[in-house]
Amino acid sequence: MQEWIVFGVLGMALVLFAWGRWRYDIVALMALIALAVAGVIPGADVFTGFSHPAVITVASVLVLSRGLMNSGAVDLLAKGLAKVGERPTAQVGAMSGVVALCSGFMNNIGALALLLPVALRLARNAKRSPSYLLMPLAFASLLGGLTTLVGSPPNIVVATFRADITGEPFRMFDFAPVGVGVAFVGVLFISLVGWRLIPKRDGHASREELFRIEEYTAEARVPEDSKLVGKRLRDIGEVTDVEAIVVGIVRAEKRVTAPSAYEFIRADDVLVIEAEPEALQSLVEAAGLELVGNEERPGEEALRSDEVAVYEAVVMPDSPLTNRSLRAVNARWRFGVNVLAVARQGARLRRRLAETVLRAGDILLIQTRADNAQEALRSMGCLPLAERGLRPTQPKRIATGVGIFAVALACSAIGLLPVQIALSAGALGMVLSGLVSLRDAYDSVEWPIIVLLGAMIPVGVAMETTGGAQRVADLMLALSGQAPVIVTLALLLIVTLLLSDIINNAAVAVLMAPVGVQIAHALDASPDPFLMIIVLGSAAAFLTPIGHQSNTLVMGPGGYRFGDYWRMGLPLSVIYVLVGVPLVMLFWPLYSGGS
């Protein structure tokens, strides 16, 4: 009975993961609590997942990644990308190679986020849509995560799972023989063939093309008899319910850019208004305003000043803005920004901004004080897309960051310290050295991933203890029949790949690792090749934009549609299976007990 309860809860969780209405950490907690209430997971064991070594290790890796980024080491690599020329193959190859290399040693989302503005600059300079560059960049970040223990959370999950089974985890570079081979072939395919299969979308080439702000801004004078005289900017809604943002005030020939919502409107003020044409006309008529310079509407320069700037930013998958309307977010009050426009899949949204429910990958055009921009974007969970200036090389900081990182990896690789201790010490070293502030350390941890792991680990244990993992293993063995073991491995990889396209990769690893071990036991074989297959399958979501945050992140800037991903992702997945399974069997023999 308990086995079917587990299957029922997991089935509902998979549906909710794919639906995306609630974030994956919330869904994982729902599954955990449901199994606890049903009595499948004992009350004393419900939250043991949060003390699991994998959870601590993932958090430490994220802090180490931030330190590596802050040191400037990645900027040093990125500087050479400006010299690759304008040939698409060279640009795709160089960008994919660099992001794959970085993703092997740091959070792949972080590596992608650092190189995304560089990719946009290359596309802009070449006068091409960035759609040909961004999806290869996302896929390459996934491939690079296969190469080391710290490359991706599934690697850490499976490594610690192996420790529970055999008493010894996978070491730091145990993943390299298979991971490097698969990543090399994958990046080669992406660079030579894959990018040609991507539909050419009208992605984000430039702000001017995407938002055309001059079409939505106008200046209107406030006569003495206007209904707005004496009211604050925030009270404009009392006069009319149209959606309009006052982004500036010209008063006595002095321009106030991004005025406070509590600013009082005076007679003879000239309001710089950002609104849809119909909304603007309704506001003018309702408030008794007079349009000024209607022949020439002000452009983006009217939104800027020495203290105020306009930024483009993409909504990150873990942003607090996702699945919330701009009215609910109240960005002007909470973050000190005006959201001027929203673009999705390469086009500006024409619906009312206040009612727009934001999604991961949306591009926001925001106006804020220059000294508030960094803090606002951090709090909003958004990545600025402006051309990111690479920091001047500081050899001492680079040496410190790389040195701390290398020592932590070495201590784990040679077995001097358990991986969770070595990487935690490295994270502490980044903080003590000043490369990562305390606030940065906490901000760099992807808490939804931590909650997901802490919640799903007991669920995975329940699946194993109730016999659910054994039943799934028996079904897969029945499907492969009397075929050679390579067919069973391929089937396991395909099933894991398909799951990773709809749910978080760490959750896939937690659920499928017990299945792999049960198949190994049934075949009286070593669990290592099956666990390596789970690593490969969990890390590669090539068919949809929802399987991995890297895919989601590039959807808006690239102008991609949901169905664009499989065009390059399907042949890449086929190559992935054809290359990955033989490499696993070569380096992790079935009956040798590992390498």
pLDDT, tens digit (0-9, with 9 covering 90-100), for 320-360 = 888 888 888 888 788 888 888 888 877 778 766 777 888 88
Q: Which residues of the chain have pLDDT under 50?
A: 205, 294-296, 389, 593-595
Write 402-407 long-range contacts (CB < 8 A, 24+): 402/68, 402/71, 402/73, 404/64, 404/67, 404/429, 404/430, 404/433, 404/435, 405/64, 405/67, 405/68, 405/105
Domain 208-303 and domain 308-384, same fold? Reply is yes
The candidate with the shortest Cα–Cα distance to 339, out of 262, 256, 272, 275, is 275
Scanning the structure block, which residue is given the tokens 């760490």? Answer: 506
The structural domains of the chain, with segments of one domain joined by +, span 2-204+401-587, 208-303, 308-384
Instruction: Give the global pTM.
Output: 0.82
Contact 186, 140 (CB under 8 A): yes
Residue 219, helix vs strand vs coil: strand
Residues 378, 379, 382, 387, CA torsion sign: negative
User: pLDDT at position 438, please?
Assistant: 92
Q: Which fold has domain 308-384?
A: Alpha-Beta Plaits (3.30.70)
Provide the 3-class DSSP secondary structure of residue 221. strand
* pLDDT of 212: 63
Three-state secondary-structure class, residue 98 = helix
Which residue, among 296, 283, 298, has the nearest Cα to 222 in the 3D structure? Answer: 283
Strand 347-348 to 337-344 pairing: antiparallel
**Any idea what DSSP says for residue 319?**
-
Q: At how many degrees (to 10) do helices 468-480 and 485-500 cross?
A: 120
Instruction: Name the DSSP letter for residue 291.
Output: E
User: Which CATH number, 3.20.20.60, 3.30.530.20, 3.40.50.720, 3.30.70.1450, labels domain 208-303?
Assistant: 3.30.70.1450
Strand 270-274 vs strand 245-251: parallel, antiparallel, or unpaired? antiparallel
The pLDDT value recorded for residue 285 is 86
Q: At what angle do helices 528-538 and 565-587 cross, to 10 degrees?
A: 160
pLDDT at 594: 43
